[in-house]
Structure 1
Amino acid sequence: MAFSALAPAVQAEPSAAAKAFGARERVVDASMSPDGKSVALVQALANGQATALFVAPLDGSSQPKPILTSSGNPDRVTDCGWVSNTRLACNIYMLLVRDARKLGFSRLAALNADGSKVVELSARTRNFAWSYQQSGGGVIDWLADDASGAVLMTRNYAEEGTTGTLLGNQREGVGVERVDSTTLARTPVEPPRGDAVEFISDQHGAVRIVGQQPRTNVGYSTARVNYSYRPAGGGAWTALSTYDDDAHTGFAPVAVDRDLNAAYGYEWVNGRQAVVRVSLDGTLKREVLLARDDVDVDRLIRIGRDRRVVGASYATEKRQAVFFDPALQGLANALSKALPGHPGVHFVDASQDGARLLLWAGSDVDPGRYYLFDKTAKKLSEVMPDRPELDAFKLSPVQPVSYKAADGTMVPAYLTLPPGSDGKNLPAIVLPHGGPSSRDEWGFDWLAQFFAHQGYAVLQPNYRGSSGYGEAWFQKNGFQSWKTAIGDVNDAGRWLTAQGIAAPGKLAIVGWSYGGYAALQSSVLDPDLFKAIVAVAPVTDLDALREERRVFTDYKITDAFIGRGSHVKEGSPAQNADRIKAPVLMFHGDDDSNVRIGESRLMLSRLKAAGRKAELVEFPGLDHQLNDAAARATLLDRADAFLKAALGL
């Protein structure tokens, strides 16, 4: 008999596997002091969403010491950087209730490396400001040449009421200030602009580029950003480019190289994203530094306190890095050889002189570790593993594969089989990624590895609608082109069956966010293909998703992304719940601001009305990422038990 239930997120003691795979990544952020002698590590703590900032000497003379902690409710430390050898600046994020709605806020704080002299760097907002200042600004320049302990940071100015006071601020928008991290002395560098969304400095104290995003007459943001640049010696702003995120036209600058007097950024070239360098000497000479005819070049590689651009990377079957500096390319190649099985070594930070490097390396069967490389001593030493809880577990290799979609298109994917399996006659899971403007890559994935450990074959398709493969592959996007995207997801399941990997009747689908949407919508397209559905924080109704953004400035961008037309109803699982035959298990945090929990509750009610078997597990106080080890362990165990029951295992 069909049933539906709203289940609390409680259960018996989690299994050892669920606790290990569900444990949060140990290191949230890492940075090196300018002298290369100390490391700052923002670490996830075992309890809830708590994080802490640890500082330790890199010579190993003492253990990491916690100097700043956050409970995660509502505040959490997200990342930190070194202002000097003895002082740091940290971003703190929190969810706060304002006008009966939970909103995200960020603030910057500074403190000494021993935890003393904590101050708030963000400018204080006064009670008579006319709007909430959700952003406390961000560091755009660590002033690598300046030992005074100051930074350049953005500031959001809010217009203030003047009734009963002569002190109300009448300026509005984003500007730039030089802020002393100890005395809090503030010096204006760039005046606020009402439509400014970005400032880019040369990392040596000069703001060179400003990005301004036009708004509609009711205050909604558009998809265009107009960039202007200032000559190296100062002077008037001059037009640089207009980047249109919808049309994929124009140059989007990311960084400025002072010595080359040029900007690095992205531009679409022959339908794919490329890295381009544009001269800021008045000629606007444009040079394509790295482009591919198969995938997008989507990451710049930056290093050191001056955030110097030294290369770029892209992902084919595996991520590949290309360094513009031959010496660094040689060093990267040597480090990869020193760490066999780790094809990509990532430069995390560097000392001021470049003699010491903080690195990260990982693979499909290694969740990742931080290393210190001393160029002078030619010594490589481990700093900390990312997921020590998994050291006792055998992880599964991830195989890049491709399969043929119904229209003959070859779709790239990643296959993970249970350890020691021959890959035949297994219970199998299709695991579509979120986004949809995202893609899966080769490497460690805690969800895929958990299910492989539990005996499932897992296939992660980069369906059409994924990013990273150019404009044609992205199509309109995974919502407006849902039939193509979900068709590719379903064809992934058919391929598992045709290859003999999936045992007859033992095929399930699991997804998170857009992946959860795909898991539900897959059965709308083919109700008989999957025998069980697990959806985490899923989009279930496209009109509801649109309405969630109506009071935010990005509403028009979201509205255009979702689009209007018959695809909205046809592409909404909650509007087609009667077509779903397989049992459904959903998970959702009630503080999710990406996809509101109301979408899962709506889906549950629609499935119940259709007489379907469904369950929703709610996690109080958690957001879209369910960034809590206990919650993730619960999710893993309950999903595994649900799949085993539904598939008759």
Structure 2
Amino acid sequence: MSKFARGVVFGLVCLASAGVAVAAEDPAAKAFGARPAVLDASLSPDGQSIALIQPLADGQANALFVARLDGKSQPKPILTSSGRPDRLTDCGWASNTRLVCQIYMVTKQDAVRMVFTRMVAVNADGTKVQELSATSNNYTLEYRQFGGGVIDWLADDPNGGSVLMSRAFHEEDSTGTLLANQKRGLAVEKVDTNTLQRTIVEQPREAVEVYISDQHGAVRIYGHRPRATSGYMTNKVNYFYRPAGGGPWTPLSSYDGDARTGFEPTDVDRALNAAYGFEWVNGHLAVVRVALDGSGKREVLVSRSDVDVDRLIRVGRDHRVVGASYATDRRQVEFFDPKLKATAVALSKALGQPDIRFVDASQDGTKLLLWAGTDVDPGRYYLFDSAAKRLAEVMPGRPELAGYKLSPVKAITYKAADGTDIPAYLTLPPGSDGKNIPAIVMPHGGPESRDEWGFDWLAQYFANRGFAVLQPNFRGSAGYGEAWFENNGFQSWRTAIGDVNDAGRWLSAQGIAAPGKLAIVGWSYGGYAALQSSVLDPDLFKAVVAIAPVTDLDAFREEARDFTNFKVEDARIGHGPHVKEGSPAQNAEKIKAPVLMFHGDQDVNVGVGESRLMASRLKSAGGKVELVVYPGLDHQLDDSSARARMLDKADGFLRASLGL
């Protein structure tokens, strides 16, 4: 299988021609700021049709396109969302002719911004659009925020059109009626997507947050998160399992997110009668398999002593677990399925791409939808027919970047002040020798996250504009074990921000950053780090760009006050002197560099009030600051026009501030 016939799926590549009109003057800002051409992709059970969610030119709007793979018809938009506030996020096939999609919305309820989701079903030709989420009424005593989700596509019956869905039951006011619902908690229903007939499979259970099926119709595990007396959730989850043939629920494990102890199941393998999941082993996250036959047999399948094994690889409509992956300098995959491993190796060789990801598969497994990309290729979607040994390109992931020379990303390490080696990724401008040029340190968000090798539209844009970009995985990042994570990037901010600042010093010491030409750019926690870096060392960076930043830890804590996760967030931020000392807005007078901030006013991750507070404090301290607020956008600023304007303005700000 070393050679494949190559081709293009006729008609699909034309989807990339849908342009995006933006106001930015810089063509590079338009190209790099454009949303990916494919936001979600799935393959029908028979492997004959593909469904793609693609952005439209208008703001956050997107549409579901469906096309036959025989090339005899053009892709057809069958469902659209306006983006104000509704957005299609993902779609899957309930049958060869019926799809199920999730709609995401951010709206304000009683002065609080809240996320709402709903599930809908639609025929592949765009007819018969129906809401699958259970409806509420005037008697419901709580907001029905989440409309449930598919937990099992019932792959054994690809033509049936039924799915297993989670459903949150809410108590109803019984005044004046005997028909009010008194059930509370999360349940599982079998829903016929054609007739909308609903049958309860698992009765509602209070404080249950997840059900896990074997992907063949049997619910085998549920997770119960205890509540404090105040009603707030804790950071512990108790898991229970049921034998394969049915029977009483039995304790499986207890996972403590604060102590990082216990087994956290995510998938069930019916054939092996076992659960896959994650567990901390010798200070690092590992993939573990636990038998569900009553023996409690536990196998550590993949573990590392340097990085966390943090992802499972699944394939097909039954979401079969076929491997696990982890990121060292680059992401590596260990397959449990020898046949699929051979396929992945052959496809990677054929495409010349080291990064291959399986997106979906037909019911019989003979057709695979996959994505492949590198640091200098933002990726393309392909369809592989194993029977015909034919590999066809579906479409590029970012067609607007055709013709732009992208920069290789190099994994490096630098020394922190205490001698610790900090891993990072360096991107230099195309054709640059990497000496005496303007440079940017770009800390990642989270902080429970990390940067990885590969294409990054933000870093590549600034490299295209002539900047060296260094992305540090500072202590407080996820992926390197619990010792590296410390107490997280908020409570251990001095270590995390110290590592970020040492990244800037390394750029200068290596002669990469020209004197006086060093800036910092960050998004979310990265925006926090960008601001706090100048509190810790006011003379290091000459310009600060912060996108959707946390600016005051107490204010950030209070944003969760009205939600059930408040105690979890409260513990995450902690209490003590570090809260004031680690809040840029409470130390604005220490910041010397000019600051540019961007924020969406519908951000539910970090409220726009954080940036407004920061701007006010900087102005009061006599600092130079500008805040750009995007109406109707949330944390991701998921709008091509807005992103293009942001890139263009940030580039101009950096050039003016650095004297370029």
Q: TM-score range by the shorter chain?
A: over 0.9
Q: Any idea what SS the aligned residue of 2:572 has?
A: helix
Aligned match of 2:48: 37
Query: Which of 406, 409, 422 in structure 2 is aligned with 1:398?
Result: 409
Residue 315 (structure 2) pairs with residue 303 (structure 1)? yes
Which residue identity is paired with 2:335? Answer: F
Distance in 2 between the 1:81 and 1:67 partners?
A: 14
Which residue identity is paired with 2:270? Answer: R
Q: Any idea what SS the aligned residue of 2:374 has?
A: coil
Q: How does 1:51-450 map to 2 (within 5 A)?
A: 51-146=62-157, 147-340=159-352, 342-450=353-461
Distance in 2 between the 1:472 and 1:396 partners?
A: 33
Which residue identity is paired with 1:237? Answer: W
Q: Any idea what SS the aligned residue of 1:189 has?
A: strand
Please say if residues 24 and 648 of structure 2, whose CA atoms lie closer than 8 Å, have aligned partners that are also in contact. Answer: no
Q: Any idea what SS the aligned residue of 2:378 has?
A: coil
Which residue identity is paired with 1:613? Answer: K
Distance in 2 between the 1:108 and 1:234 partners?
A: 29
Aligned match of 1:3: none
The structural deviation recorded for 1:109 is 0.3
Query: Which of 590, 593, 596 in structure 2 is aligned with 1:579?
Result: 590
The structural deviation recorded for 1:60 is 2.1
Aligned match of 1:6: none
Query: Which of 529, 554, 558 in structure 2 is aligned with 1:547?
Result: 558
Q: Any idea what SS the aligned residue of 2:460 has?
A: helix
Which residue identity is paired with 2:492? Answer: S
Please say if residues 443 and 521 of structure 2, whose CA atoms lie closer than 8 Å, have aligned partners that are also in contact. Answer: yes
Which residue identity is paired with 2:166? Answer: T
Distance in 2 between the 1:16 and 1:107 partners?
A: 37
Q: Any idea what SS the aligned residue of 2:39 has?
A: strand
Runs of 4+ in 1 over 6 A off after TM superposition: none
Could you tell me the percent identity over the aligned residues? Answer: 72
The structural deviation recorded for 1:97 is 2.2
The structural deviation recorded for 1:100 is 2.0
Distance in 2 between the 1:420 and 1:74 partners?
A: 42
Distance in 2 between the 1:44 and 1:212 partners?
A: 37
Please say if residues 76 and 93 of structure 1, whose CA atoms lie closer than 8 Å, have aligned partners that are also in contact. Answer: yes
Q: Any idea what SS the aligned residue of 2:167 has?
A: strand
Please say if residues 51 and 76 of structure 1, whose CA atoms lie closer than 8 Å, have aligned partners that are also in contact. Answer: yes
Please say if residues 416 and 458 of structure 1, whose CA atoms lie closer than 8 Å, have aligned partners that are also in contact. Answer: yes
Aligned match of 2:628: 617
Which residue identity is paired with 1:364? Answer: D
Please say if residues 215 and 318 of structure 2, whose CA atoms lie closer than 8 Å, have aligned partners that are also in contact. Answer: yes
Which residue identity is paired with 2:420? Answer: T
Aligned match of 2:507: 496
Aligned match of 1:7: none
Distance in 2 between the 1:498 and 1:364 partners?
A: 26
**RMSD of Structure 2 on Structure 1 (CA):** 1.0
Distance in 2 between the 1:379 and 1:473 partners?
A: 45
Which residue identity is paired with 1:40? Answer: A
Structure 1 residue runs of 5 or longer lacking an equivalent are 1-10
Aligned match of 1:469: 480
Which residue identity is paired with 2:636? Answer: Q
Residues 587-629 of structure 1 show CA distances to partners (whole Å, capped at 9, x for unaligned) of 0011111000111011011101110111101101100000001
Distance in 2 between the 1:165 and 1:320 partners?
A: 59
Distance in 2 between the 1:219 and 1:152 partners?
A: 29
Which residue identity is paired with 1:78? Answer: T
Distance in 1 between the 2:580 and 2:107 partners?
A: 33
Please say if residues 433 and 515 of structure 1, whose CA atoms lie closer than 8 Å, have aligned partners that are also in contact. Answer: yes
Please say if residues 23 and 641 of structure 2, whose CA atoms lie closer than 8 Å, have aligned partners that are also in contact. Answer: no
Query: Which of 61, 69, 91 in structure 2 is aligned with 1:50?
Result: 61
Aligned match of 1:17: 28
Aligned match of 2:17: none
Structure 2 residue runs of 5 or longer lacking an equivalent are 1-21
Moved more, 393-402 or 58-67: 58-67
Aligned match of 1:8: none
Distance in 2 between the 1:645 and 1:243 partners?
A: 51
Structure 2 CA distance for partners of 1:539 and 1:104, relative to 1, 3 Å = same
Q: Any idea what SS the aligned residue of 1:368 has?
A: strand
Please say if residues 321 and 344 of structure 1, whose CA atoms lie closer than 8 Å, have aligned partners that are also in contact. Answer: no
Distance in 2 between the 1:61 and 1:504 partners?
A: 60
The structural deviation recorded for 1:219 is 1.2
Aligned match of 1:4: none
The structural deviation recorded for 1:411 is 0.3
Which residue identity is paired with 2:264? Answer: A
Distance in 1 between the 2:78 and 2:482 partners?
A: 46
TM-score between both structures, scaled by the size of structure 2: 0.96
Distance in 2 between the 1:420 and 1:520 partners?
A: 31
Please say if residues 530 and 582 of structure 1, whose CA atoms lie closer than 8 Å, have aligned partners that are also in contact. Answer: yes
Residues 145-192 of structure 1 show CA distances to partners (whole Å, capped at 9, x for unaligned) of 123210000000000001111111000010000000010111110000
Q: Any idea what SS the aligned residue of 1:438 has?
A: coil
Residues 248-286 of structure 1 show CA distances to partners (whole Å, capped at 9, x for unaligned) of 100000000001000000000000000000000000100
Q: How does 1:479-628 map to 2 (within 5 A)?
A: 479-628=490-639
Q: Any idea what SS the aligned residue of 1:294 has?
A: coil
The structural deviation recorded for 1:13 is 4.0
Q: Any idea what SS the aligned residue of 2:140 has?
A: coil
The structural deviation recorded for 1:61 is 2.1
Distance in 2 between the 1:60 and 1:219 partners?
A: 55
Residues 113-151 of structure 1 show CA distances to partners (whole Å, capped at 9, x for unaligned) of 001011111111111111001100000000001232100
Distance in 2 between the 1:13 and 1:555 partners?
A: 40
Aligned residue pairs: how many?
A: 639
Distance in 2 between the 1:364 and 1:196 partners?
A: 41
Distance in 2 between the 1:545 and 1:441 partners?
A: 27
Which residue identity is paired with 2:409? Answer: V
Please say if residues 186 and 204 of structure 2, whose CA atoms lie closer than 8 Å, have aligned partners that are also in contact. Answer: yes
Please say if residues 255 and 263 of structure 2, whose CA atoms lie closer than 8 Å, have aligned partners that are also in contact. Answer: yes
Distance in 2 between the 1:595 and 1:136 partners?
A: 23
Please say if residues 312 and 322 of structure 1, whose CA atoms lie closer than 8 Å, have aligned partners that are also in contact. Answer: yes
Distance in 2 between the 1:258 and 1:13 partners?
A: 53
Residues 489-547 of structure 1 show CA distances to partners (whole Å, capped at 9, x for unaligned) of 00000000000000000000000000000000001110000000000000000000000
Please say if residues 598 and 646 of structure 2, whose CA atoms lie closer than 8 Å, have aligned partners that are also in contact. Answer: yes
Please say if residues 27 and 43 of structure 1, whose CA atoms lie closer than 8 Å, have aligned partners that are also in contact. Answer: yes
Q: Any idea what SS the aligned residue of 2:586 has?
A: helix
Please say if residues 29 and 41 of structure 1, whose CA atoms lie closer than 8 Å, have aligned partners that are also in contact. Answer: yes
